[in-house]
Amino acid sequence: MAFVDTVSGPEALRETLHDRGMRMTPQRQLVLDAVRELGHATPEEICRRVRVTAPAVNITTVYRTLDLLDRLGMVRHTHLGHGAPNYSVHAHEHVHLVCHRCGRVDEIPCELMSPLGGTLEAEYGFELDASHLALSGTCRECLAAGGPAGGRPEESE
């Protein structure tokens, strides 16, 4: 019997879609591939990536497809604080650290959030979804350069 990669192969998407009476299309596969290849990206960036292969794909389709894949649980989006959201594959879990002085974005493992998650659950009954939103603050370099806490954020967000 043939092995079917139900996690990342093209068949996974097709099956998931068919299970819900939806159709597999080249656009959908391309968008999912683009998210995987880019790691993190905005709809705009994903669209550009898709267009390398299929120049006719419309940004509208990218938005609709990202929304669909998000609802299917195959990708997820994170709000980094300003502007467009940032999409990544669902499997790749991490927390974002956004420096609001230089705009730099770092990733840290989700596990660091576990203690906080436990507290929130115990005290507020709130189940934390660590990877959906970013944490903001000031990064090492900006602390070193622009001086500590005192200075207001320069720019970016």
Partner DNA sequence: TTCACTGCAAAGTCTTTGCACATAT
Partner DNA sequence: ATATGTGCAAAGACTTTGCAGTGAA
Binding-site ranges for DNA (CB under 7 A): 14, 17-18, 21-28, 42-44, 54, 56-61, 63-65, 67, 83-85
**Bridge partners, residue 77, by sequence:** 87
C-alpha 32/C-alpha 27 separation (Å) is: 9
User: Per-residue b/e over 80-104, b at no fewer than 16 CB within 10 Å?
Assistant: bbeeeebbbbeeeebbbbbbbbbbe
- To DNA, the closest distance from the beta carbon of 66 in angstroms equals 8
C-alpha 120/C-alpha 2 separation (Å) is: 45
If contact means CB under 5 to 8 A according to the sort of partner, which of DNA, a second copy, none does residue 124 touch?
a second copy
Report the interface residues with a second copy, using CB under 8 A.
71, 73, 79, 81-82, 97-100, 106, 108, 112-113, 115-116, 119-120, 123-130, 132-140, 143, 148-149, 152
Strand, coil or helix: 145? helix
- To a second copy, the closest distance from the beta carbon of 54 in angstroms equals 28
- To a second copy, the closest distance from the beta carbon of 52 in angstroms equals 30
The Cα-based distances of 86 to 41, 44, 75, 152 in angstroms read 5, 10, 10, 26
- To DNA, the closest distance from the beta carbon of 18 in angstroms equals 6
Q: Six-digit token pair at 156?
A: 């970016």
If contact means CB under 5 to 8 A according to the sort of partner, which of DNA, a second copy, none does residue 143 touch?
a second copy
4 or 116, CB closer to a second copy? 116
